[in-house]
Amino acid sequence: MIEAALSGLLQVVSPYALSLMLIGIVIGFVVGILPGLGGPVALALMLPFTFGMTPIETFCFLLSTMVVTTTAGGITSILFGIPGEATAAAIVLDGHPMAKQGEAGRAIGAMLMASLLGAVIGAIAIVLSIPIIRPIVLAFGPPEFFMLTLVGLTFISVLSDGSMTKGLIMATAGILVALVGIDPQTAVPRYTFGLLELWDGISIVAIVIGLFGGPQILELMLSKSSIATGTASNDVRGIWQGFKDSFIHWNVVLRAGLIGAGVGIVPGVGGSVAQFIAYGHAKQTSREPEKFGKGSMEGLLAASGNNNAKDGGALIPMISFGLPGSVSTAIVLTAFLIVGITPGPAMLTEHLDVTFAMIWVTIIANVIVLLITIPLIKPLSRVTLVSGPLLAPFLLVLVVLGAYATHNSMHDVWVMLAAAAIGVLCQRFNWPKVPLLLGVVLGEICERYFFLSHSLFGWDWLSRPIVIGFAVIMAFIFFRAGRQAWLKTRQQGSPA
Amino acid sequence: MSAQTPFAIKTNVEMGTYTMVNMKNSIVKSKANLHRTGRYAKLFGGMAVLAVTAAPAMAQTADCSFFEGKTVELIVPFNAGGGFDSYSRMVANHMGSKLGAQNMIVRNQPGAGGLLATNQTWVASAEGLLVQMMSTSGMLTAELGGADGVSFESGGFSWIGRVSGEPDVIAVGPNNKITSVDDIRAISAERKVRIGSSGIGDIDYIEAELLTTVFDLDSNIVVGFSGAPEVYASLARGELDLFVSSHSAGQQAQSAESARIMWLFDSEADPDFPDLEPIGAYLEGDDLALVTAHGDLVAGGRALAGPPGIPAERLACLREAFDQTMEDPAFLAESEATNRPVSPIGGAELADMISGLTENAPQAYVDLLRKSYQN
Amino acid sequence: MTDKTQKTGLTVDDYAEWIITIFVLAVMVSAFVTALDWPQYAAIFPLMISGFGSALLCLKLVQMVLVSARAGHVAGAEPANSADRPVADDEPAEKGMDSVFATSPRVVWLETLLSVTIFFALLTVAGIEATIFVFCLVYLTLVARKSILFSLIYAVLLVGVVYLMFVVLLTLPLPKGLLFS
């Protein structure tokens, strides 16, 4: 294994490979900043240029892009409160409040370092599991996927901002939104109002952009002040503080990374749930849970550390089975096939050096992104000092194009607008947004895997070991959340 | 809503054709050769190839001056990055110059499994500046099966040419004991045969129904998977017995040791895939006719078409440009190097084929399709 | 906007709580009823979910009725957070009664909503490039009180960047607007 690791590394640090990585990073950065445009678009455009490249050169080119779009999306999330992609929503929750308090530099620094650490954790997870990857992936079937979505849903209890009833209501509303579209079991259009555009459901990206980004823009236009209203710490020391923070709270980053890697392995489900489990778990185990959602460093670190680790985890089923866990990994898979790499056992034996090269690329790309962004952080955080109305046209264009680019259709722009309206109402009248998002993200997956489990196993799947394990975890989460809420009510003496 | 979540993609139609086993060795060799010529040369060589193909168009027999200085849009009815999309981009890269146009760009218009884009192309302006890569089998089955949401007639499009058309294959799990059709029938006698599918109305669902009919099986068609890779994972876990998918998806799964490809879903053997036996070998009469009809339909593959009513001369230009692209050495080199083999059919022949399919499909087949869609 | 009305003594938040609860309940119930027509497998989940949601909302309504009978106000104190942690002076208030949404005067709201409406109307009719141009000019001069020159430069730059990124680099389509399609 060591020779493969070294061989992979050597092939990746050649000047040509590094320059390809650099090009990939720049492209990924530029594309990733725009919400809604992410890995898929950039990768699809770069595919034709991989003609003629060796496999390892192809990864250097493509994987570095994939890595960077997540990080760049994190920057928009922090600065503007507009999530770069659906998986960056958790970063907005605490990253943007920090920017508003004048700590944009610190937040970006923390996010970058936590992302790097998360990538390393994800990489270590892959390496350690290489001998047992295939049995692990095979052990997870529809019943386990279903239980995982349920675990994600139990975090509603933690992320409801104080009112669990409202949280549950929003979550059910979110699930209903997720059910819009053609039913996979019977091909009946559900809640589509006769519109063909709704057959594939309502675009999650458009919802995320609108729900979180819309209110922020409106706020800027109403208040006419800049994003950061507090004293701005836009000097470089802020970034280093951010770096330090991610080491101070190393256990938060570690756990978020482990959760990301572990959940990311589960193809199809992993990515959507991971950020909520990581964030929710961090909140539950934090000593200052009430800070979450208001600029908690722990919250930001949990959200950031989880992202790249999850991408690393998603590589596992892809390499070993050709099973893509996300849209980005699907495109990387296409690239593999174009270049002549076949996912399968060979990737873990004869071609182990190629697998290692992939892992090295993700780590090195993260380091390069970190280094490149350092000089940019100061000018970037200056944006938070610009007066609101000046930013408004730019941000409006950003969200419109971001929503439009998901499917090249104005339809998604209207979805975004509706989500923005809902976001504003939620914020004004204290209805929690995160459970709504949880429901939207998990609703359809939950139903699909439930029926698949039933189709394949009847009711026998309830006794599978991993299923029971997840059920225990769920019970634990509920119990803990319930106890926290009960303790709080006792303290306050008023109903929740 | 199976194509909606960020991580669910319909890959059974989208995945490109990658004939791994045979081509792998030659690719390794040709890559080694490329490697020796210098790596920077490769990147620039690749770009040079693209630059050369942007050179002025070759002589054409029809008057194609209309296209000069204009941009032609190639609509792709699926998301960016899948096999379908990458094939389309490969064509777009080379065909624009053959046409004499300024360029040909790809526009993704996903939705409703391709129906959204197809419906819109059906009513689009027929100047000749908009064409679409069609998933022909998908549109034909939807139309013949009377699916909701179809507002076009396949035969009416201005067909330009078929890019690729690989047959579908029947795969079984890597660890199960199936070695013959009789084994499947034996399973059916004891319990329901579990056949996987990405969703009702998908091609693999129709094929599952077909298998059930022609082999008289007691089957449980398991739907709800998000795409072929997920079904193959289920097959690998032993949860399913059979799955019908595109050859390339099956090939990938086989290389990943998730499946064993057993038969070709066709009535006759295919010279491109000499190792695979067609299931037609085990059938006769009406059953054989059903499989034949379906095989013909799947042969529609991925094909380029424009809205109905493109003026004859411009259509001729498009068809000619297409044919030239399919024979262009640069295009073929890219096709081979990137594992995207093509098997072209010209526009006129394709148009006849499609009309034949829509007008003369056997009633039993149409009935089966209708049953699949109105389930 | 947080003044109590004189007659009923209820705040806007109270009214909103009622309206939102009842509205969401109506949506859930209609979702439930629509699902009754569907085949069994298609209907199970939607029925379960909308049923559960409707039940929760009814429960909440009952709770609200009880609370309002006793205390009048249904929109209670801020969610638990503010009670356990004092909000620092320089921290922007984000939620509920202290948020920008609540404290902004009606005029500002109207101006903002009008601007947003104009933006999206322009977008639908004329496409993104024209929208950017016109909106930047109008909004920046009138609302942000910048000079016409500034707004013009801003507009040109923004259109330029958008064009460069989308049309030149990514060859992606831009929203075109009804006039141009």
pLDDT tens sequence across B292-333: 999 999 998 999 999 999 999 999 999 999 999 999 999 998
Same domain, B94 and B146: yes
CB B314 within 8 A of CB B216: no
Longest dimension (CA), chain C: 65
Answer whether residue B263 is part of any domain: yes
| Of residues B3, B223, B253, nearest to A322 (C-beta) | B253
Give the separation between CA A297 and CA B43, rounded to whole angstroms.
44
- Ranges of H-type helices in A180-326: 204-208, 214-223, 237-248, 250-264, 270-285, 297-321
Answer whether residue B152 is part of any domain: yes
To 5 degrees, how large is the angle CA C115–CA C117–CA C121?
Answer: 120
Contacting residues of C for A429, CB less than 8 Å apart = 13, 16-17, 20, 75, 96
List, as one string, the DSSP characters of B29-41: HHHHHHHHT-HHH
Same domain, B220 and B241: yes
CB A115 within 8 A of CB A411: no
Tally of domains within chain A: 1
Give the separation between CA A442 and CA A148, rounded to whole angstroms.
10
pLDDT confidence tier of residue B62, bands split at 50, 70 and 90:
low
Task: Determine contact: B43 vs chain A, CB below 8 A.
Answer: yes
pLDDT tens sequence across B237-260: 999 999 999 998 898 889 888 899
Q: Which residues contact B205 (CB under 8 A, 6 or more apart)?
A: B197, B198, B199, B221, B223, B372
**CA of B162 vs chain C CAs: smallest distance (Å):** 25
CB A313 within 8 A of CB A265: yes
Residue at token pair 């989880």: A306
Q: Which residues contact A252 (CB under 8 A, 6 or more apart)?
A: A282, A286, A298, A301, A302, A305
Give the separation between CA A233 and CA A245, rounded to whole angstroms.
15
Verify whether the Cβ–Cβ distance A327 to B81 is below 8 Å.
Answer: yes
Give the separation between CA A56 and CA A54, rounded to whole angstroms.
6
Helix (H, G, I), strand (E, B) or coil at B121: helix
Give the separation between CA A119 and CA A307, rounded to whole angstroms.
8
Verify whether the Cβ–Cβ distance B46 to A51 is below 8 Å.
Answer: yes
Give the separation between CA A24 and CA A18, rounded to whole angstroms.
10
pTM for this prediction: 0.86
**CA of B81 vs chain C CAs: smallest distance (Å):** 14
Give the separation between CA C96 and CA A428, rounded to whole angstroms.
4
pLDDT value of residue A233:
53
Contacting residues of A for C81, CB less than 8 Å apart = 161-162, 290, 293-294
Same domain, B248 and B338: no
Same domain, B306 and B159: yes
Residue B196's φ and ψ, nearest 5 degrees, are -85, 155
Contacting residues of C for A428, CB less than 8 Å apart = 16, 95-96, 99, 101-102
Helix (H, G, I), strand (E, B) or coil at B222: strand
Using alpha carbons, select from A305, A275, A258, A301 the residue that is nearest to residue A437: A275
CB C58 within 8 A of CB C26: no
Q: How many CB atoms lie within 10 A of CB A374?
A: 16
Contacting residues of A for C50, CB less than 8 Å apart = 172, 176
What's CA A466's distance to the chain center, in Å?
A: 24
Verify whether the Cβ–Cβ distance A330 to B82 is below 8 Å.
Answer: yes
Verify whether the Cβ–Cβ distance A294 to C91 is below 8 Å.
Answer: yes
pLDDT value of residue B76:
94
Give the separation between CA B41 and CA A53, rounded to whole angstroms.
10
CB B134 within 8 A of CB B303: yes
pLDDT value of residue C50:
95
Task: List the 291-350 stretch of B: residues with Cβ below 8 A of A.
Answer: 334, 337-340
Mean of all residue pLDDT scores within chain B: 82
Beta bridge partners of B133: B304
Contacting residues of C for A427, CB less than 8 Å apart = 94-96, 99, 101
List, as one string, the DSSP characters of C111-177: HHHHHHHHHHHHHHHH-HHHHHHHHHHHHHHHTS---HHHHHHHHHHHHHHHIIIIIIIS-------
pLDDT value of residue B26:
37
Burial of B359 (0-12, 13-18, 19+ CB in 10 A): exposed
Answer whether residue B1 is part of any domain: no
Verify whether the Cβ–Cβ distance A396 to C116 is below 8 Å.
Answer: yes
Q: Who wins on pLDDT, B30 or C12?
A: C12
**CA of A445 vs chain C CAs: smallest distance (Å):** 12
Question: Per-residue pLDDT for B55 more than 60?
Answer: no
Same domain, B223 and B132: no
**CA of A187 vs chain B CAs: smallest distance (Å):** 6
| Eight-state DSSP code of residue A189 | E
pLDDT value of residue C60:
93
Tally of domains within chain B: 2
Same domain, B68 and B113: yes
For residues C142-165, give the mean pLDDT.
91
Q: Which among B267, B297, B327 is the end of a domain?
A: B297
Per-residue confidence in pLDDT tens, chain A, 496 aa: 788 888 888 888 888 888 888 888 888 888 887 887 777 777 777 777 777 778 788 878 888 888 888 888 889 899 999 987 778 889 999 999 999 888 888 999 999 999 999 999 988 888 888 888 888 888 888 999 999 999 989 888 888 877 888 999 999 999 999 999 988 888 889 999 988 889 889 988 899 999 999 999 999 999 888 888 765 555 567 888 899 999 999 999 999 999 998 888 887 776 778 888 999 999 989 988 888 988 899 999 999 999 888 888 888 888 888 888 777 777 778 778 877 788 888 888 888 888 888 888 888 988 998 898 888 888 888 888 888 889 999 999 999 998 998 888 999 999 999 999 999 999 999 899 999 999 998 988 899 999 999 999 988 999 999 999 999 999 998 888 888 878 877 876 555 4
Give the separation between CA A297 and CA C100, rounded to whole angstroms.
24
Verify whether the Cβ–Cβ distance C27 to A186 is below 8 Å.
Answer: no
Half-sphere exposure of C141 (CA within 13 A, CB side): 14
Domain that holds residue B183: 168-297
Q: Which residues contact A487 (CB under 8 A, 6 or more apart)?
A: none
Burial of B110 (0-12, 13-18, 19+ CB in 10 A): buried
Same domain, B256 and B314: no
Verify whether the Cβ–Cβ distance A452 to B2 is below 8 Å.
Answer: no
Contacting residues of B for C171, CB less than 8 Å apart = 105-106
Give the separation between CA A421 and CA A416, rounded to whole angstroms.
9
Same domain, B258 and B290: yes
Tell me, what's the ipTM?
A: 0.88
Domain that holds residue A138: 2-492
Question: Per-residue pLDDT for B5 more than 50?
Answer: no
Same domain, B240 and B304: no
